Structure 1
Amino acid sequence: MIVRFDELDWQPTPMGDLTLRRRFEPAVAALIYEVKLGDEYLMSSLFTVAEEALATLGLAEASGDRLAVLVGGLGLGYTAVAALRDDRVGALTVIDALPAVIGWHERELLPVSTELVGDARTTLVHDDFFAVVRRAPEGPRYDAILLDVDHSPRHQLDPSHADLYTVPGLRSLARHLHDGGVFALWSDDPPDDAFLADLAQVFDGASAHVVDFDNPVTGGVSSNTVYTGRLRATS
């Protein structure tokens, strides 16, 4: 069988050429969407279980109604849409450093784009998430922050991201949460005990959840990790 690729968009970025393409995947007999940055595969609509689990596991730790949620990294949109499917979410802000990615969804090029941009609770913001959380909060704080940008705490897309995965970096991020707010992080690597120990210095109940999912390409099971922690309430 000839596998046909449709290049839906190509944009140069400071981190490399960004490509969105659609192709037929024989293993599932369906069209899938893939994103590459330079020579690296960033994401695929063939594997979305862990991206959705980032939202469901993170929000499971959150309490209250009318939750204000911040997502770092828009990507194919599966984390953001999974968050919107939680009826408690009152406002969802998604930050992405690449305007092309935001444009894909505004043009409704991706499978969940219409659901994402058609929801009045959604705000898409072009900014550097890492720079945002380094700064003191300038507006309302969040009940949950869900982050999926880098491959893992040890393998970043850009070296400038590395400071977030330290105790000072996590404390800076925590300033953007309400008391009792939740931080959740997706990782492509197995649980990292050293990072989990750092997470536990800032957040209560720090946990590493292994998310298994069927891999139709290999015929086996693959795994990602979702870290969660809750900011200690001071009142």
Structure 2
Amino acid sequence: MIARIEELDWQPTRMGDLTLRRRTDPATGELIYEVKLGEEFLMSSLFTVAEEELSTLGLAAASGDHLDVLVGGLGLGYTAVTALADARVQRVDVIDALPAVIDWHRRELLPVSATLVRDERTTLIHDDFFAVARRTPGADDRAYDVILLDVDHSPRHTLDPSHADLYTVAGLTALRGHLRPGGVFALWSDDPTDEPFLRDLETVFGAAEANEVRFANRLTGGTSANTVYVATTSEA
């Protein structure tokens, strides 16, 4: 019998203590997985709709039958696993700055971990996505058809101050350099549509839209919403 709240792992990081815990919903008996950074909840397996829609909407905007996908932010793994479910996807590289998160999945501690790590198309990479995005790609660096990002709460509410430059025209332009022509950048945000940021996406990529993703919130008994931005480059 699993205790109502069980701490599966705890690791200190430069951004605060990272905790993975599992609890039992007293009403349903469902196992719920939660990640905290310090005293702040980062994610919960109660709410995965928007993470899945990040992949679904991003891949829907992509063309071609052999897609290489880069995911920034591993988290509970739902964004990457949803990408793997698309038959056109031939490769999914997932970058996470926290080795503990990668280790959780390699140890198959989370509900979708086995699906993720046992798929030969998956590569888990310990690196700073934001540093990678800033770099000018070299001749040997891989270009991607789709980049999916789910790390910060929103472009205005970042987990670390060093992330903020990505959400500027200069930062987005650098990120675009990692996409192939016709490539797609999709971003999850916990905030409503940020019109100035949407205009910056349009400036850099050529076309962009903000999608409201609504889902039932079992904690409040109501409906909550996130935003998924999808920006597309031209084929030329």
TM over 0.5: yes
Measured after TM superposition, the shift of residue 27 of structure 1 is 5.2
Amino acid at match of 2:175: L
CA distance in 2, matches of 1:28, 1:199: 42
**Sequence identity (%):** 70
Q: Deviations over 1:63-119 (max 9, x none)?
A: 001100000000000000000000000000000000000000000000000000000
- Matching of residues 53-92 of structure 1 within 5 Å: 53-92=53-92
Q: Which residue of 1 aligns with 2:11?
A: 11
Q: Which residue of 1 aligns with 2:172?
A: 170
CA distance in 2, matches of 1:96, 1:223: 25
Q: Deviations over 1:165-212 (max 9, x none)?
A: 000000000000000000000000011101101111012320000000
Q: Which residue of 1 aligns with 2:228?
A: 226
- Matching of residues 1-235 of structure 1 within 5 Å: 4-26=4-26, 28-138=28-138, 139-234=141-236
Measured after TM superposition, the shift of residue 28 of structure 1 is 4.5
Contact 1:27–1:216 at 8 Å: present in 2 too? Answer: no
CA distance in 1, matches of 2:111, 2:176: 32
Query: How many residues were matched structurally?
Result: 232
For the residue of structure 1 that corresponds to 2:46, the secondary structure is coil
CA distance in 2, matches of 1:109, 1:24: 15
- Tell me whether 94-103 or 197-206 shows the greater mean CA deviation: 197-206
For the residue of structure 2 that corresponds to 1:161, the secondary structure is helix
Contact 1:27–1:217 at 8 Å: present in 2 too? Answer: no
Question: Structure 1 residues 173, 28: closer, same or farther in 2, change over 3 A?
Answer: farther
TM-score relative to the length of structure 1: 0.97
Measured after TM superposition, the shift of residue 57 of structure 1 is 0.2
Structure 1 residues not aligned, in runs of 5+: none
Question: Structure 1 residues 181, 75: closer, same or farther in 2, change over 3 A?
Answer: same
CA distance in 2, matches of 1:103, 1:196: 35
CA distance in 2, matches of 1:142, 1:93: 10
CA distance in 2, matches of 1:229, 1:99: 29
Amino acid at match of 2:193: P
For the residue of structure 2 that corresponds to 1:56, the secondary structure is helix
Structure 2 residues not aligned, in runs of 5+: none
Measured after TM superposition, the shift of residue 231 of structure 1 is 1.1
For the residue of structure 2 that corresponds to 1:62, the secondary structure is coil
